[in-house]
Chains A and B, each alone.
Chain A
Amino acid sequence: NAGVMQNPRHLVRRRGQEARLRCSPMKGHSHVYWYRQLPEEGLKFMVYLQKENIIDESGMPKERFSAEFPKEGPSILRIQQVVRGDSAAYFCASSPKRTGPNEKLFFGSGTQLSVL
């Protein structure tokens, strides 16, 4: 079984451009989570989605950031008008159902976003 697939692996953008990060969850998983990781920092939760629904976006900045998980296709994390502070590793994780005591998250290899 394929794991969580993220692409691109590396993304370079200039300030003001848009960045689109894609995540295909593991087969059979309908829950997707996006986390951001800065150097020397932990994984910071951004947004949690199920198919066609945003369940929790409490960790996502209100401006410039958006996320979707359409009925067909991968989940997309979109960052508009990127700034240097957006440079980070963005990890996607999936689970078969909402994370409970025995549910673990399966992570993709991440997208390293560099803003010039």
Chain B
Amino acid sequence: GQNIDQPTEMTATEGAIVQINCTYQTSGFNGLFWYQQHAGEAPTFLSYNVLDGLEEKGRFSSFLSRSKGYSYLLLKELQMKDSASYLCALNSGNTPLVFGKGTRLSVIA
């Protein structure tokens, strides 16, 4: 089976940088995804990591360490519209994506 842990809530200031951590345990690993979900809306894809290291995409970056079962999502130059839930999800190969409970990020002025 799989187990995914993320902080429940985080608060950060507009213009700052925030790091959202995700730790996982799994018997098989094919990739780790990050999704963004605004309240009442569909989750939307942000990034995926298959190999160790940092993947940068504009203001968002995602990091993976497979040996440590650890990933983080880094958001730079925070904007109010970044207030949302951020979902970490595991692809273990033979099963559909397994999601963590999500981290609710509040960006304040």
Please measure, in the bound complex, the distance between the C-alpha atom of A104 and the C-alpha atom of B91, giving whole angstroms.
10
A69 at interface by CB-CB < 8 Å: no
**B102 — nearest CB in chain A belongs to which residue?**
A42
How many residues of chain A have a CB within 8 Å of chain B?
Answer: 26
Chain A binding surface, main DSSP class? loop
Contact A100 B91 (CB under 8 A): yes
Tell me whether A102 and B42 are in contact (CB under 8 A).
Answer: no
Give chain A nearest CB distance to B42 CB in angstroms.
4
Q: Is the CB of A99 within 8 A of B101?
A: no
CB of B70 within 8 Å of the partner chain: no
Q: With a CB–CB cut-off of 8 A, which chain B residues contact A33?
A: 96-97
Q: Is the CB of B42 within 8 A of A45?
A: no
Known: A42-B102, A103-B91, A105-B97; 11 extra A-B contacts, CB below 8 A, are: A40-B8, A41-B101, A42-B4, A44-B99, A45-B99, A56-B96, A99-B96, A101-B31, A101-B48, A101-B50, A102-B50
28 contacts between A and B (CB under 8 A): A4-B42, A35-B99, A41-B101, A42-B4, A42-B99, A43-B89, A43-B99, A45-B96, A45-B97, A45-B98, A48-B96, A56-B95, A56-B96, A91-B43, A99-B91, A99-B97, A100-B30, A100-B31, A104-B33, A104-B45, A104-B48, A105-B97, A107-B43, A108-B42, A109-B41, A109-B42, A110-B42, A112-B40
